[in-house]
Amino acid sequence: MASSASPALDPASLRERLDHLARHAGLHQWDLGAGCSTDTSVQVDRGEAKQMKGAQRSSITVRVWNGAGLVGITSTSDLSDAGLERALAGAHAASAFGNADDTPAFSSLATAPLQPLDQPLHPPQHILDLLGTLKEAERDLLSRHAAIGTVPYNGLAQRSSERIYLNSEGACRHQQLTTASLYLYARAEETGRKPRSGGAVRLAYGVDALDIAGCIDEAANRTIAHLDYAPITTGRYTCVFTPEAFLDLIGAFSGMFNARAVLDGVSLSSRESLGESLAVPFLSIHDNGLHPANIGASSFDGEGTPTQRLTLLEGGVLRHFLHSEATARRFGVDPTGHAGLGAKVAVGPHWFEIGPPPGGASGASGLDHRTGVGGGTDGAQGLVVIDSLSALHAGVKSSQGSFSLPFDGWWIRGGERRSIEAATVAGDIRDVLRSLIGFEGEAKVTPDGLCPLVWVDGLSITGEA
């Protein structure tokens, strides 16, 4: 049998029961965020099943405000009347210890209309069908080159999920979603040479909609392209970031756009940064969780605020921060739809759009990384293409702006491209944003956002000693 979909939640009925139980307990202000999912995933190893998993998960968070305006929070997995009653009582008891200096409230937009999303629901496939599909993908990838011996990291997964947000002032949000993902990471090794790797990922609303052939092609091409490697001389280079690499770098420093980080004093930005020029005038960054290519987009955040397209940088100028209800209240603006749910609400981005402003300048023209044609510090020294960054959790000091990250990429000199054996790129994100040369090609859709190739001048590259 195919795995069943996640159990359907009835938000109207749940809200009615919660309202009744809260009134009976003398509680006047409460909210609830809930999510449940059914997940199926498989992994393989050289034609054999390595792991086959199925799981049903649920997460329910209840918040209650007491008469003094303090909030308490609890979690449960029991949606029966008895379970909800215990959750309300536990949250009310916890409210006595609430932080009076940072108390969340209901979002002013928790009942505002939501923008409809085109997210077709796909029936789940049998786990053995997933296994067969992944085995075939692995077999195809292994056949692409004699040096590709294994695909050590791989996975095919599907999920059916639901989300709910309810509150005592009438908010009633509900979203159903199905998603699927494929990940292939190949390992190649030639005699007397170091192993080389490359990978690719694809997302879709269902397994039958995944671009499996494209994922195999990308993983194979990236792996093969790194087989012929050589060391690089330490120095300063013009660098070209692939869309995936540049989105990873911006994501690692997204605290500069985060109002929660600003208030906590761990952001590169301050309250006064809005309106300041942070980057070259041809760079714009938007957070657009509603983009049609954003598989798994949420129509509302953890507080029920509608998701929206938000301008962060426009023409290099900082225009907005990401907000929850609490941070928006501190700044005197509306919440932006980027909040979680908690006693102290976290804030985070959804999906970036990076590129030149519409109709505006796009920096240097005629850039072509394949031939090394473009601007930069020293064209004779060559061009470095940064394909993927590693160790983002360890090599980034987000509150200071600095980074030092190992990367996979190529060194292009005289029109010839060769993979770099091992190297680290280092710099300061503020310098990076002010040193952009321009964009190359059309913006590419990735799991994390939309971005073209990005040229940056004068980054420090340290080769292997």
Q: Which tokens go with 426?
A: 């280092």
Q: How much is the pLDDT for 371?
A: 82
How far apart CA 404 and CA 389 sit, in angstroms, is: 10
**Domain locations along the chain:** 11-223, 228-465
**pLDDT tens digits for range 114-145:** 999 999 999 999 999 999 999 999 999 999 99
Q: How much is the pLDDT for 375?
A: 59
| C-alpha 286, offset from chain centre | 14
**Which is nearest to 428 in space by CA: 408, 452, 399, 448?**
399
Does 1 have pLDDT greater than 60? Answer: no
Q: What is the mean pLDDT of residues 241-253?
A: 98
How far apart CA 52 and CA 42 sit, in angstroms, is: 4
Does 309 have pLDDT greater than 90? Answer: yes
**pTM higher than 0.95, yes or no?**
no
How far apart CA 340 and CA 331 sit, in angstroms, is: 18
Does 359 have pLDDT greater than 90? Answer: no
Looking at 183-192, 335-344, 362-371, 444-453, which range is the least confident one?
362-371
How far apart CA 122 and CA 203 sit, in angstroms, is: 13
* Assigned superfamily of 11-223: PmbA/TldD superfamily (3.30.2290.10)
Q: For the chain, give the mean pLDDT.
A: 94
| C-alpha 267, offset from chain centre | 19
Buried b (16+ CB within 10 A) or exposed e, 442-463: ebebbebbbbbbbbbbbbebbb
H/E stretch holding 244:
helix 243-252
pLDDT tier at 5 (50, 70, 90 boundaries)?
very low
How far apart CA 303 and CA 110 sit, in angstroms, is: 7
Buried b (16+ CB within 10 A) or exposed e, 258-280: bbbbbbeeebbbeeeeeeeebbb
How far apart CA 232 and CA 361 sit, in angstroms, is: 33
